[in-house]
Amino acid sequence: MALSIGIVGLPNVGKSTLFNALTRAQNAQAANYPFCTIEPNKATVPVPDKRLSALVSIAQPQKTLAATVDFVDIAGLVRGASKGEGLGNQFLANIRECAAIVHVVRCFDDENVTHVDGSVNPVRDVETIETELILADIQSLEKKAERTRKQAKADKAMSALANEMDTLLAHLNSGKPASSFDKPFSDAMTQAVNELGLISAKPVIFCANVDEETLMALADNKENDHVKALKKLASERNAESLIICAKIEEELQGLPESEQLELLSSYGINESGLDLVIHKGYNTLGLISYFTVGPKEVRAWTINKGDKAPQAAGVIHTDFERGFIRAEVIGYNDFITQGSEAACRSVGLLRTEGKEYIVQDGDVVHFLFNV
């Protein structure tokens, strides 16, 4: 299960610069004019996890496999994008494929950096993007609702579904995203929404892109008005937010790890932008990692928080879930303290768990199955 994150925002707010920094790919062109990105840049990156490194140092495996995150840099959206303005709505389809959205918002003033609307206003910029996403969802849902109404003439069961769609349409037409719709969906409606991939239903992480001066001020707990406005908006939407200087993050690439940490520390930062975005993404989507450890391979696996052992096993292979017998589990801290599976077993720290066991973040697991 790979986490997929779409990076969106107005043109020229630092999306491609951030993408380059996050993916270390340096393959997304960045320039000081709108629509620099005309095709979605995609990259798969390993999830930074110090726990994986610690397990590898103990097991000394032949191969190490980290969990991964897919990043997609979506071309800048402008007012009217849902109707074909700017580069059109072809890029909205790319967002539908993502599990979460990182909405990059410019939160610094610089007359040398062009803003598509002529001024910096985080709340206005967020609302511009939100409106286009909602309008795109309205178009998709209206087409689906129309087909459902036609089916309802011959199938009365479809009538209730059509009514649900109309209720959601009314909500969207009021300017509110699907994520704020507070009425429970029927199973049929849930399936329809999932199939449509409604963009405004996806969880959003608001990313304030600041300049070096603002970053230095933040080290002294001094936020500019733009950052304050964005954080307030994120709080009102019960969404995660973070602050990144995309320019600094890009400068980190190519430096040795010690120098990266030194540069971040000089700005009062102890975590890279990549770490921040991934941690926020995992929290937002309710994801955790467990590990499999052996002489051939140490690997991190991504699952949903609350998944039971058979479901977690199914991430490795469907046969593991179908023929699940039991799981042998060691807590991460116990494994590190004892230094091996054998040592954990000898002191009773290896547990045998059944089908109802809820896998915990950091568990070291060995599955037994039979098909």
Q: Summarize the annotated binding site for ATP as residue ranges.
A: 12-17
Give the Cα separation of 12 and 116 in Å (integer): 7
What tokens does 132 get? 């286009």
Candidates 273, 344, 194, 214; CA nearest to 21 is 273
The distance in angstroms from the start CA to the end CA of the chain is 23
Closest C-alpha to 10, from 111, 140, 97, 131: 131
* Residue list, annotated binding site: 12-17
Cα separation, 247 vs 210, whole angstroms: 9
Least Cα distance to 247 among 267, 227, 221 occurs for 267
Radius of gyration of the chain (CA): 23
Distance of CA 364 to the CA centre of its chain: 24
Fill in the amino acid letter for 91: F
Residue 175 amino acid letter: G
Size (the chain), residues:
371
**What token pair was written down for 177?**
């995203």
Q: Are 49 and 287 in contact (CB under 8 A)?
A: no
Cβ atoms of residues 185 and 160 within 8 Å: no
Angle at 258 between CA 254 and CA 260, to 5 degrees: 50
CA torsion, ordered 112, 91, 249, 284, to nearest 10 deg: 130
Edge-to-edge strand ranges of the sheet holding 297-304: 63-65, 297-304, 287-293, 364-369, 324-330, 351-353
